[in-house]
Structures are given as C-alpha cells and as structure tokens.
C-alpha cells in the first residue's frame, strides 16, 4: 500500500500549458530503449502507462473530450468523424475558457484536404482556438510549424497533435516495422521539443499523452474496449512537477481539468475529470504495517534484555 498526502497543493507556477497528443502511441512502448526520448521523458516526468481513454476509443471522440472536458455522450462526437459540435451541447472548452481569462490559445495540427478545410475551420472556431496553424502530417513538420508559438507565446494554452503513429498503424498495423519506424521518428521529434522547452521548464507545463492505443482486437484499428486500444500513457513535466509514477485510475478526462487548474482557471462543474495534483506532490512512500514490525521489535527487546 502507498500513503500519499490528501492535501491539494496550490496550482503550479505555470504561465502556459502545452498539450502534446501522440496519436495512436501504444502505452506498452513507453520504457522501450529503442525510443530514448520517450524513456527520458518517462524518467523526468510524473507519468502513468495505465490511464484510459474514452469510449469509443477513436481520435475524434478523444480529441473532443480532451478539449471539452466531457465524455462523448455529453459532447456528441461518438464516431471517428470530426464535425462541428451541436450548439445545444453548450461545451465549455479549454480554449474558450482560456480566452475568457485573457490568455491566448493556439493549435498546431496536420493539414486537411482542400475540400474539407472550410469544415475544419468551422470545427476549430467552435472549439474556441484563437489561432490555428496547419502543417504536413508528420511530427517534425508540425513541430517546425509550432516553433514560433513555442518561442514567443509565453502564456496560455498550446495544443500540438502528431498523427504519425496512428496513420501508419491504420495502414500496416500497430507494432509492424513501419509503425515502429513512425514511433522512432516521433521519438526524435519529442527530443527536439523537450530541447526547445529546456530554458522555460519552470513556468511551462508539458502534458504529453496518447489519445488511444491500437492493434487490440483488430491489427489495423483501435475502436474497441480492448486494453491495447484504450490504455494510454500520460506524462507531466515542467512547472512544479515532481518526477514519479502516478497512481492508477487516471483518465484522458483528467487532462483538461489539469490544464485549467495549472493556469489558475476555474474548472466547470460539468467537467468529468479532476486535476492530477499527485504530479505536484512528493512521491508516495510504502506504508509501514505495525503487525509486520512488531515481531522484529520484540526480538530486539529480547536481545537487549539478555545482554543486560
């Protein structure tokens, strides 16, 4: 058993939060020495490889939950097709709340085909991002597009989405050689991003996570409740974070609550998750059970009496 303080710490000294979505990254690859930057992030962060995503475990549903703080049943996106959320849902998204607090919110995403760009702009507007940049669909290209915001926007919220692993997983299967090569490219970009953030770790909170896994029930998909499909890693690094393994039971829905808490913005009552405050408190220590200690103490007492 682990004992942890129940006291909620004050919000960390974060001026901005960067959320990095590693689309389709399998949680069981975290810690694999073939991917040294993921391994380095794990060691330097408060992390779990046992968090869960929403169901259905698909990108459109998960990303909408990530930005709105509510489950698919509440935001209405229950397939892998992005669409404008219905006005009646009255979503209180992270970007809307950040903007209302007088802070900027930026998204850096992959390009979409010309024919659906008007729809993409409507979706982005509905979710509340004040600025959106589009780039070719690779971690390196999207990181390059994100660099100006990373270097100049010192407050607020930035979300970056890397689609590499998901795209290849759908084509050749999760854990295929091509998929692992995509993980390797993403791992390289992760190292470059962490290098970019090196000088501002004290006031920038980086939250990296996958939106889903893959290859559970179907080798080339992830839409199921299979553990390989719906188990995700979550990493927190930077402003006030104490490196440690986080407790079980965390969810992708805890991330939006954490973003708002870190920025000092009130969390709407309808948000389904809660701030991951454990990342900012001292790691838990093993509990000491009196029953297991008493025999040893009794033996010490007997030896002391004999010596006397």
Q: List, for residues 90-116, the tens digit of each pLDDT value.
A: 889 999 999 999 999 999 998 876 666
pLDDT at 73 over 80: yes
- How large is the average pLDDT for residues 225-235? 97
Using CA atoms, how far residue 30 sits from 41, 130, 167, 277, 286, in Å, is 9, 33, 19, 22, 24
Does residue 11 or residue 234 have the better pLDDT? 234
Give the pLDDT band (50/70/90) at residue 297: very low
CATH number for the domain that contains residue 16: 3.40.720.10
pLDDT the model gives residue 6: 47
Range of the domain at 101: 2-307
pLDDT the model gives residue 293: 47
pLDDT the model gives residue 215: 97
Note the pTM of the prediction, 2 decimals: 0.88
pLDDT at 300 over 80: no
Does residue 180 or residue 294 have the better pLDDT? 180
pLDDT at 301 over 80: no
* Bridge partners of residue 51, in order along the sequence: 232
Give the pLDDT band (50/70/90) at residue 285: low
Give the model confidence (pLDDT) of 51-65 as tens digits: 999 999 999 999 999
Give the model confidence (pLDDT) of 151-166 as tens digits: 999 999 999 999 999 9
Query: What is the tally of structural domains in the chain?
Result: 1
């Amino acid at each position: 058993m682990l004992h942890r303080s129940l006291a909620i710490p004050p919000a960390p000294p974060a001026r901005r939060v960067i959320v990095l979505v590693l689309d389709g990254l399998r949680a069981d690859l975290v810690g694999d020495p073939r991917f040294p930057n993921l391994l380095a992030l794990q060691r330097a962060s408060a992390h779990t490889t046992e968090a869960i995503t929403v169901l259905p475990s698909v990108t459109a549903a998960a990303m909408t939950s990530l930005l709105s703080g509510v489950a698919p049943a509440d935001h209405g996106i229950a397939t892998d097709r992005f669409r404008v959320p219905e006005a009646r849902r009255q979503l209180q998204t992270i970007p809307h709340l950040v903007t209302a607090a007088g802070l900027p919110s930026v998204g850096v995403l992959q390009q979409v085909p010309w024919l659906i760009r008007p729809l993409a702009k409507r979706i982005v507007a509905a979710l509340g991002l004040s600025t959106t940049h589009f780039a070719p669909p690779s971690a390196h290209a999207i990181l390059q597009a994100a660099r100006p915001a990373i270097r100049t926007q010192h407050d607020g919220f930035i979300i970056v989405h890397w689609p590499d692993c998901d795209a290849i997983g759908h084509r050749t299967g999760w854990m295929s050689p091509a998929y692992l090569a995509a993980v390797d490219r993403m791992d390289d970009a992760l190292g470059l991003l962490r290098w970019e953030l090196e000088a501002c770790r004290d006031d920038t909170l980086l939250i990296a996570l996958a939106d889903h896994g893959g290859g559970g029930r179907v080798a080339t998909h992830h839409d199921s409740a299979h553990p390989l499909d719906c188990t995700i890693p979550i990493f927190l690094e930077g402003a006030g974070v104490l490196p440690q393994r986080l407790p079980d039971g965390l969810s992708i829905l805890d991330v939006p609550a954490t973003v708002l808490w870190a920025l000092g913005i009130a969390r709407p009552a309808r948000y389904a998750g809660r701030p991951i405050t454990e990342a900012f408190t001292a790691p838990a220590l093993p509990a000491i059970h009196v029953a297991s200690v008493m025999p040893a103490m009794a033996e010490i007492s007997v030896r002391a009496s004999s010596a006397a």
